[in-house]
Structure 1
Amino acid sequence: MEGAYINLSIENFIGTITFSNPKHNALPSHLLKELAQTILDAGANDEVKVIVLKSAGDRTFCAGASFNELITINDMQTGKAFFSGFANVINAMRTCGKLVIGRIQGKTVGGGVGLAAACDYTLATKHAAIKLSELSIGIGPFVIEPAVTKKMGQTAMSEMTINAEQFYDAQYAKNNQLYANVFETIEELDEAVINLANKLASYNPEALLEMKKVLWKPYSNWDNLLIERAEISGKLVLSEFTKHKLASFAE
């Protein structure tokens, strides 16, 4: 896994979007911006009937937002823009017009859980534990909460948010509807992902589009809601508590 990048490959009407960052696939602002646009581009491409979202490597799926970027935030405008990154990706997944399959090969934290939750159908390995760590550093999973609550329900969302330093294993995620299925190995995961993607790509694209609209119709207010949530996080990251906490981690 060399360098940080976003890549879209198209084969047999399956658009596979891969994101990569050597730092545990954490996503800085520039990658989030590129990822959101890539999802929208795939959605608008007639050669793509279904999207697979994955990260590079065989360990961490996504460590969330970039910590190195987080500690540099010193004003409200920058904070809001930073947290809007995941908001824009989730909204792109919601509005792109194509069903999105999530391929989760390993642990995922914070915003990465939001990406998994925003997928229309998510498959994972047994190593794909999840954690919402935001409250422990003085902010909260405000931006991703709507997506996580939609997929997993209010109880699981609350439990993970309050127990902010605890990883919840893949079986917990499956039992609470985040993952449709959990596999022993990455090889088994990839086989299941490609089989599902091929099936969906063989279906009527007009039916897939209408189904996507139905699945997401109750959440049409997210364009504004998620940006409002980004503003909350952007304000909290400037608090004395959070600044002190981030400084201690940096040391």
Structure 2
Amino acid sequence: MSESVVTLRREGRALRLTINRPDQRNALSNEVFTELRAGLSEAKADPSVRAVVLAGAGDKAFCAGGDLRQMGEDADELAAHRGRAGLAGVLRDLWELGKPTVARVQGYALAGGFGLAAACDFLVASERAVFGVPEAGVGLWPYMITVPLLQSMPPKDALRLMLTGRRIDAAEGRRLGVVSDVVPHDTLDKAVAELVDELALAAPQAVALGRTTFYSVLNNDVDARLRMLEASLTVNLGFGDAREGMAAFVEKRRPAWQVES
């Protein structure tokens, strides 16, 4: 039996969901999306769970983004398109959970991993954390994480990160508003636990309704936006730039873009 790509562990009043692919820097795959959604469903159904913590295994990365090897594989196009909607499903589940969510970021949070962390109510980052949106460098665009990034920082700052792929540290993430707290690396788990304890003091019924209302207002028409972004990603993956960019990433070389004359 293969090892789970997302592990669940009870930590006090929180359920911790950990992406368990440290050798791939916890890259997002269809299996990861499926298991994250199952874990969130379990947390939602258990009244003793008062918060959810999202984490990445190992010390290097929270999540370095989508698994480009899987995205570049030939497969049934409709099935592949539906698989790419996995991140949108996780985002919806986070916003509809009815319980506070905390991202524990100890290292790299890039591309879809950055968006996943930003979609949580709070993002607690180690001083070693690094954030970035590098998709344009591999012939893609950060379609699915556009919504959580625009919720978390000024639009022009988000667009600049998307266009340049520039990486930022936790302190700059805090300045932009996407990072809630920056703490010394050795105290990251303590800081997350203290935040969970603080969040668990609130009345659970009021939190369930109030938090759902909060995201209903914030995410007005978000389903239409996510559907548009899902379709755009599928179209983009058919571009020559995307094929070249992902091949270059896998082969660890600089991409050779085809520029029309």
Residue aligning to 1:128: 129
| Contact 1:140–1:233 (CA under 8 A) maintained in structure 2 | yes
Structure 1: which 5+ residue stretches go unaligned? Answer: none
- C-alpha deviation, 1:202, in angstroms: 2.8
Runs ≥4 residues deviating over 3 A: 73-76
Tell me, yes or no, if the aligned pair for 1:79 and 1:233 is still in contact at 8 Å: no
Q: Which residue of 1 aligns with 2:113?
A: 112
1:90 alignment partner in structure 2: 91
AA partner of residue 14 (structure 2): I
**Structure 1 vs Structure 2: percent identity of aligned residues?**
25
Kindly indicate whether the alpha-carbon contact (under 8 Å) linking 2:138 and 2:244 is maintained by their aligned counterparts in 1.
no
Partner of 1:100: 101
| CA–CA separation in structure 1 for the residues paired with 2:198 and 2:79 | 43
Distance 1:134 1:78, change over 3 A: farther
1:26-55 Cα offsets, whole Å, 9 max, x none, are 011111111122112211211211111111
Local SS of the residue matching 1:108: strand
Q: TM-score, normalised by structure 1?
A: 0.92
Could you tell me how far 1:250 is from its partner in structure 2? 2.6
Question: 1:159-199 CA distances to partner (integer Å, 9 max, x unpaired)?
Answer: 100112x21111111101111111121x3111111011012
Pairwise CA RMSD of aligned residues? 1.8
- Which SS does the other structure have where 2:101 is aligned? strand
- How many aligned positions are there? 248
Q: Which amino acid in the other structure matches residue 221 of structure 2? A: N
In structure 1, the partner of 2:43 is: 42
Please give the secondary structure, in 1, of the residue aligned with 2:17.
strand
Check the 8 A contact 2:95/2:215 in 1, yes or no: yes
TM-score (norm 2): 0.89
Residues 143 and 227, structure 1, Cα contact 8 Å, conserved in 2: no
**Shift of residue 78, structure 1, vs aligned partner:** 4.1
Assess if the C-alpha contact under 8 Å between 2:104 and 2:124 holds in 1: yes
- Partner Cα distance (2:75, 2:208) in 1: 42
Provide, for residues 208-239 of structure 1, a one-character-per-residue CA deviation record: whole Å limited to 9, x for no partner: 21331232022143334323311211111111
Structure 1 match to 2:256 = none
SS at match of 1:61: strand
Conservation of the 8 A alpha-carbon contact between 1:43 and 1:98: yes
Provide the rounded CA distance (Å) in 2 between the counterparts of 1:226 and 1:79: 16
Structure showing greater relative contact order (alpha-carbon pairs closer than 8 Å, 6 or more residues apart): 1
